[in-house]
């Protein structure tokens, strides 16, 4: 063999070796990365090759699968009462991905979760039968919330104070996830993206707003826990009108005739006296208020229920006047309905806050449990004494104060209204809030609720927590107690 042929042979051999090395590298080291790549169409084909597992409410699926008429994706997601449960399920779309429970539990629902596979599946590489996600949602509470909110823009959350189970979660206006589940739903998708009311946003978890006077429950908790006042029935040192510290700005009360001067915390909650809670906030200072807010769940970046909730915020680096404004749930205080439901739940359960969750378990196709979410995982927020006193004051709000529209015959109901300023100088329609709890001693059932109505179309003068939000809360509480 001459030198030229020998060199050519060696070069070709090296090329073959390089190709073998590269092929082995791709098959051994890059295989998983390529398989998991979002642009790998085979993953989507496999995901929708057969019916998906379901999201379950009270034993019945609120999701389904439908055979497609064409294309390489055999099935697409369908929804029963899609608008009613959109804030719970999220959407599963062949074109636009998945959100909320559909996204979090995607591998379980499409059968690719390793926990679903048996030994033969591992050997053959076959996909396992899809599993299901069992929620804690009570359909009666869910329907009550959705029906009561109606055409209003807003959100509502109900939870069991003892267990932390989320019984209802609604965001309006809603949308039907079925309309965007296929590959040819571009028009519906673009319409949702252009919707000025942002119906794709889960307002119950992802829309923190100024909580207004509902935040006074947190301030009252801080006042009692820090010994500023010994009880809700002790007179406070609260001039009316009250001038914000270091300013000439006078803080007014909604009702000029309300007995707010030096009012007790009970009376101040009953009439929602701004002067009292602004003065309490200024006297306590921002650090003590922030510490109490954080115990209730504010400033928590990772509140997963299991859907991630946006953080509710108590602001930092304020002057005395700004701190006073936080006492009435203004300045830069923000909260989600989920957060304000947690406040009422902690007070309802003797000062202990149960971790909120809306999934009870995840199962395989045969019903065997893959993952379970425990009830009653609690943390102490305030003392039993503080919780009992504030429940008593919240009952006064409902029986004789600003929350009378939440009354339920035969049940103990306590609550707090709120009307929060919206925009610079309150130029926009205010937000109407209500947070509450209800107990039925005969049955032992109880529930905590928070409702916000961002916009009902009502005139500004008609916007109030009692007028707009409390009736929604009452419907939800009635459904929970009767469930």
How confident is the model over 94-123, as a mean pLDDT?
87
Q: What is the pLDDT of residues 156-171, one digit of tens each?
A: 999 999 999 999 999 9
On whether residue 338 sits in a domain, the answer given is yes
What does the pLDDT look like over 283-318, one tens digit per residue? Answer: 999 999 999 999 999 999 889 999 999 999 999 999
Report pLDDT for 34. Answer: 44
Position 152 in a domain: no
pTM: 0.90
Is 128 a member of any domain?
A: no
Residue 42 forms part of a structural domain: no
196 is a domain residue: no
Nearest to 73 by CA among 179, 189, 181: 181
Report pLDDT digits (tens) over 395-431. Answer: 999 999 999 999 999 999 999 999 987 866 666 789 9
Question: Domain limits at 260?
Answer: 206-358+374-482
Burial of 167 (C-beta count, 10 Å sphere; 0-12/13-18/19+): buried
Neighbours of 237 (CB within 10 A): 11
- DSSP letter for each residue of 221-240: HHHHHTTSSSSTTSBP---S
In this structure, is residue 409 part of a structural domain?
yes
Question: Of 7 and 209, which is predicted with more confidence?
Answer: 209
In a domain, 367, yes or no: no
The CATH number covering residue 251 comes to 3.40.710.10
- Residues tagged active-site: 213
- % pLDDT > 90, the chain: 77
Structural domains of the chain, count: 1
In angstroms and rounded to an integer, the radius of gyration of the C-alpha atoms of the chain is: 27
The contacts of residue 313 (CB under 8 Å, 6+ apart) are 208, 298, 299, 332, 333, 334, 335
Whether 33 maps to a domain, the answer reads: no
Over residues 421-471, the pLDDT tens digits come to 786 666 678 999 999 999 998 999 999 999 999 988 888 778 899 999 999
């Amino acid at each position: 063999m001459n030198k030229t042929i020998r060199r050519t042979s060696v070069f070709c051999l090296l090329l073959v070796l390089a190709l073998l090395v590269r092929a082995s590298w791709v098959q051994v080291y890059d295989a998983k990365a390529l398989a998991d790549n979002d642009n790998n169409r085979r993953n989507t084909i496999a995901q929708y090759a057969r019916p998906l597992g379901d999201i379950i409410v009270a034993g019945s699926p609120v999701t389904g699968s439908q055979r497609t008429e064409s294309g390489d994706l055999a099935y697409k997601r369908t929804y029963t009462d899609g608008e009613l449960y959109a804030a719970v399920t999220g959407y599963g779309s062949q074109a636009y991905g998945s959100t909320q429970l559909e996204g979090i539990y995607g591998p379980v629902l499409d059968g690719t979760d390793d926990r679903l596979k048996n030994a033969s599946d591992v050997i053959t590489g076959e996909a396992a039968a899809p599993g299901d996600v069992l929620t804690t949602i009570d359909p009666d509470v869910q329907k009550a919330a959705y029906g009561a909110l109606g055409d209003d823009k807003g959100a509502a959350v109900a939870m069991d104070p003892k267990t932390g189970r989320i019984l209802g979660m609604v965001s309006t206006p809603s949308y039907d996830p079925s309309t965007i589940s296929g590959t040819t739903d571009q028009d519906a998708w673009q319409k949702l993206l252009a919707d000025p009311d942002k119906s794709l946003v889960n307002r119950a978890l992802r829309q923190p707003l100024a909580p207004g006077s509902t935040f006074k429950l947190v301030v009252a908790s801080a006042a009692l826990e820090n010994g500023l006042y010994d009880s809700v029935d002790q007179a406070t040192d609260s001039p009316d009108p009250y001038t914000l510290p270091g300013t000439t700005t006078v803080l007014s009360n909604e009702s000029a005739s309300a007995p707010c001067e030096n009012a007790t915390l009970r009376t101040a909650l009953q009439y929602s006296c701004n002067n009292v809670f602004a003065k309490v906030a200024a006297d306590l200072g921002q650090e003590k208020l922030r510490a109490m807010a954080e115990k209730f769940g504010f400033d928590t970046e990772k509140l997963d229920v299991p859907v991630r909730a946006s953080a509710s915020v108590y602001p930092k680096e304020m002057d005395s006047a700004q701190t006073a404004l936080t006492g009435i749930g203004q300045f830069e205080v923000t909260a989600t309905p989920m957060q304000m439901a947690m406040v009422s739940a902690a007070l309802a359960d003797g000062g202990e806050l149960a971790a909120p969750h809306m999934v009870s378990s995840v199962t395989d196709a045969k019903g065997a449990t893959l993952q379970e979410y425990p009830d009653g995982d609690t943390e102490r927020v305030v003392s039993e004494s503080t919780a009992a006193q504030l429940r008593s004051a919240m009952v006064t709000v409902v029986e004789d104060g600003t929350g009378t529209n939440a009354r339920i015959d035969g049940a103990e109901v306590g609550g707090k209204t709120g009307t929060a300023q919206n925009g610079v100088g309150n130029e926009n329609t205010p937000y109407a809030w209500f947070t509450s709890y209800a107990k039925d001693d005969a049955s032992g059932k109880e529930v905590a609720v928070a409702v916000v109505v961002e916009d009902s179309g009502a005139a500004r003068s008609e916007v109030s927590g009692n007028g707009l939000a409390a009736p929604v809360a009452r419907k939800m509480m009635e459904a929970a107690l009767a469930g």
